[in-house]
Structure 1
């Protein structure tokens, strides 16, 4: 009887562990589809060309597994101060150091992933792991892309970020993986403002799971000026086919 009870308890504990909710983060911030006519966020659907600050691309951890990595990738803001980008110290759930570096390149050289770069006025796509929050039983919680329209020497406050929302993306825009709601890949696209001058801009991915429960990821987007009207556009530079994925 004791053995049977122990087995049942172990199975129950394993079930709880497998269904426990986890918290998300921006994985790739410059995701490019292999076939724009068949957009998707699985590894077979595209390739990443830019990452959030100090993203451990050579960690060996599979997609969606960095919540158990040290330091953890997900960062939950503390409503007491709403530190906008994780500094590894603040937050109800501190993550890694995602603060602005000087020079910016310090966040994007080995062992970290490359910096995302694009042209003003262009659409750029990104992805994130579902972490069990894209199931039918949960309501839609949106992702806000916040980006001040001037180049800055330091991270702005959360108040400034929140006043500069350039896109609102559905969190549950995902490629379903049967039996694995944790590592399901999700993503969306947004348009970089066409009026931006050349420079590096601070961008924040901010997702609200519950009231006053926010998770963020930060990165620096290198932007070159938009082509002048009537100018020749290089082959492959047009990305209007992504429009249906964005909810600006």
Structure 2
């Protein structure tokens, strides 16, 4: 048997809603996507997990010399597709691109990504950081250090649905949008650390509506929506990891 090929991940869906409330299932049978990252190519026919081989690729590896927060097709050790903010913002959504995500302040929302062979037993889970400014901004943050100060959650990377194909295993996590966010369109960053100082990001725009007294989730389901610590999140956070260890 050939060893798994190393590949790198990205945010495949930024508003994943489960078919069964309270049951996390990141597979195509377990839910549906209602929102995507900027310029996400839903019309190109590439199946889940294969956008690493698309042209341009979807995974963006930051260059430690500048750590440009969102891919622009110019910077980065792996440049990937252009995810810079559009003017107007709507230019990055609809038509050949996926829809923009929406959520109510104080509610949770779920993000999905492909494992790309990195949810295996012997790989450290360094986590996924969700960064979101406290207010809508006229442009994207240009300094990653500033963006990290806007962290609202850290999710386990290996929170996955089990499939025999570890490259295309779907994974994901849920986080809560702070209830004090005013209505507006915010930039959100998904930032995954594969190895020490090796970072991959995806950026999207999130339309937030004002909080009400009935906040919950975008799909009425529970999720792993609590921010966790800054340490590696271990090897047994996912169904995939648990089955691997048995």
Task: Establish whether TM, by shorter chain, passes 0.5.
Answer: yes
Deviation at 1:200, TM superposition (A): 0.3
| Number of matched pairs | 226
Answer yes or no: is the 8 Å Cα contact 1:122–1:239 preserved in 2: no
1:176 to 121, 146, 162: 162
Highest RCO, 1 vs 2 (Cα 8 Å, sep ≥ 6): 2
1:158, distance to aligned residue in structure 2 (A): 1.0
Does 1:242 find its partner at 2:222?
yes
Paired with 1:159 and 1:64, the residues of 2 have a C-alpha distance of 29
Other structure's SS at 1:139 match: coil
Cα distance in 2 for partners of 1:137, 1:123 equals 30
Could you give the per-residue CA deviations for residues 181-233 of structure 1, whole angstroms, max 9, x where no partner exists?
A: 00000000000010011100010000001111000000000001001x4xxx4
Distance, in Å, in 2 between the alignment partners of 1:115 and 1:88 is: 21
- Structural RMSD (CA): 1.7
Q: 2:8 matched to 1:23? A: yes
- Bigger helix fraction: 1
1:143 paired residue number: 128
Which protein is bigger by CA-based radius of gyration? 1
8 Å CA contact 2:17, 2:219 repeated in 1: no
Query: Do the aligned residues in 1 keep the contact of 2:115 with 2:167 (CA within 8 Å)?
Result: yes
Match status 1:74 vs 2:59: yes
Structure 1 unaligned blocks of 5 or more = 1-11
2:104 paired with 1:119: yes
Counterpart in the other structure of 2:190: 205
Q: TM-score, normalised by structure 2?
A: 0.88
Q: Structure 2 vs 1, CA of residues 171 and 103 (structure 1 numbering), >3 Å: closer, same or farther?
A: same
Distance apart, 1:241 and its partner CA: 4.1
CA contact (8 A) 1:87 1:94 kept: yes
Is the contact between residue 18 and residue 221 of structure 2 (CA under 8 Å) also seen in structure 1?
A: no
